[in-house]
């Protein structure tokens, strides 16, 4: 009881702090981002992530969060607070994610979530950028000899509830006049187990999650991805609350910085060496040696250098979790544009 009272008192205090900081920000008439101010005041970023899915966000045996989405959270904290470890992770199920973001409990939601029209408009959420391109992929047993999604007519597919996947299947069924049956799970672990046991003929999710699902199968080699995807391209990315442009901008440029790092060939290993020796103006701007690119975002000028040093570029992060060191998913669309992928970044000018 007392703890709850302490909690309530803390909430009251937090409210006062938020109100006060808003007031101060207004008085100084500087960059107006209540979220960034609140994070700085708090000294940590509150990042909403998946409750656990290999690739995007999972806990290693030491209990540390790992994954592509987690690396993004760490990069944001690194840029804003100067340390990648100043993050509080909140594991969210697909059902609760958006209301938790709307309530202000988390600063940013990076939870393998598809950016959609309705989420942007009806839910009033900002979708600053993309961090993973994928499409709804089906994973089936090789022994079923399925080559095309239409061949799944009559099959049962396991998937998670509270996602866009169900709508896609319903649409696909209607468009092709077939019937793909679904089995809806609340949490991935039971869904994976059901697919593995043969309760369903296959599993569907975005490409990255399906790769994660395959990695949890008893014999991953027995499973294949159907090359055809449904529901079109599914870009995943971070969500923020609409109305705090300064904050959304930072979230966007942190992702841009990881892409830019890869385009410039700057890696965790060579960043210090490049910083000392480079004469390339682009790299110099990126590493904070020229220009005032940090200040304009509301952080210091070393922000992108820190990301490169502590987190690495996008390619490194991808490789660690989805690439050869992780789930073994080819880069494909998730490469930078110069290598045939979809990732571009606005210029560092």
- Binders of other proteins among 14-33, rule CB under 8 A? 14-15, 18-19
**Which one among 51, 134, 204, 335 touches other proteins, defined by CB under 8 A?**
51
> At 258, which helix (H) or strand (E)?
helix 245-264
Q: How far is the CB of 151 from other proteins (least distance, A)?
A: 9
Q: Would you count residue 216 as binding other proteins (CB under 8 A)?
A: yes
Pairing mode, strands 87-92 and 156-160: unpaired
∠ CA 344-346-349, nearest 5°, is: 140
Q: Would you count residue 11 as binding other proteins (CB under 8 A)?
A: yes
- Is residue 59 within 8 Å of residue 52, measured between CB atoms? yes
Q: Would you count residue 35 as binding other proteins (CB under 8 A)?
A: no
d(CA 187, CA 209) in angstroms, rounded, equals: 13
Q: Would you count residue 187 as binding other proteins (CB under 8 A)?
A: yes
Nearer to other proteins, 124 or 280 (CB): 124
Site for other proteins in 79-118 (CB under 8 A): 88-96, 98-100, 102-105, 118
Phi-psi region at 104: left, alpha or beta (left = phi > 0; alpha = psi -120 to 50): left
Nearer to other proteins, 104 or 340 (CB): 104
**Which one among 9, 20, 23, 124 touches other proteins, defined by CB under 8 A?**
124
Phi and psi at residue 115, to the nearest 5°:
-85, 125
**Which one among 9, 20, 147, 197 touches other proteins, defined by CB under 8 A?**
197
Site for other proteins in 137-166 (CB under 8 A): 144, 152-156, 158, 161-163, 166
∠ CA 185-186-188, nearest 5°, is: 75
d(CA 307, CA 262) in angstroms, rounded, equals: 12
How many residues of this chain bind other proteins (CB under 8 A)?
83
Residues paired with 340 in a beta bridge:
none
Query: Is 91 strand, coil or helix?
Result: strand
**Which one among 20, 30, 121, 269 touches other proteins, defined by CB under 8 A?**
121
Site for other proteins in 229-288 (CB under 8 A): none
């Amino acid at each position: 009881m007392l703890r709850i009272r302490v909690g309530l008192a803390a909430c009251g205090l937090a409210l006062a702090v938020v109100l006060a900081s808003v007031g101060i920000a207004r008085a100084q008439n500087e960059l107006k981002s209540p979220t960034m101010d609140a994070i700085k005041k708090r000294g940590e970023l509150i990042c909403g992530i998946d409750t656990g899915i290999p690739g995007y966000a999972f806990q290693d045996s030491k209990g540390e969060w790992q994954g592509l989405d987690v690396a993004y959270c760490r990069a944001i904290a690194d840029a804003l607070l100067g340390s990648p470890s100043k993050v509080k992770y909140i594991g969210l199920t697909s059902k609760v994610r958006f209301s938790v973001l709307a309530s202000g409990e988390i600063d940013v939601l990076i939870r393998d979530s598809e950016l959609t029209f309705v989420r942007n408009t009806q839910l009033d959420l900002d979708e600053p950028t993309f961090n993973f391109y994928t499409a709804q992929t089906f994973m089936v047993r090789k022994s079923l000899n399925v080559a095309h999604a239409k061949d799944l007519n009559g099959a049962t597919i396991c998937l998670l509830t509270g996602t866009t996947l169900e709508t896609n299947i319903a649409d696909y069924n209607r468009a092709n006049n077939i019937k793909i049956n679904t089995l809806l799970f609340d949490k991935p672990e039971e869904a994976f187990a059901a697919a593995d046991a043969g309760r369903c003929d296959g599993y569907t999710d975005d490409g990255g999650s399906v790769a994660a699902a395959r990695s949890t199968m008893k014999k991953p080699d027995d499973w294949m991805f159907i090359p055809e995807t449904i529901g079109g391209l599914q870009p995943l990315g971070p969500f923020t609350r609409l109305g705090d442009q300064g904050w959304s901008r930072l979230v966007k440029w942190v992702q841009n910085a990881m892409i830019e790092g890869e385009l410039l060939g700057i890696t965790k290993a060579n960043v210090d060496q490049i910083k000392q020796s480079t004469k390339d103006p682009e790299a110099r701007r990126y590493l904070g040696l020229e220009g005032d690119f940090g200040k304009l975002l509301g952080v210091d000028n070393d922000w992108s250098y820190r990301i490169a040093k502590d987190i690495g570029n996008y390619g490194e992060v991808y490789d660690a979790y989805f690439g050869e060191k992780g789930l073994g998913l080819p880069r494909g669309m998730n490469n930078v544009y110069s290598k045939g992928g979809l990732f571009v970044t606005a210029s560092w000018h």
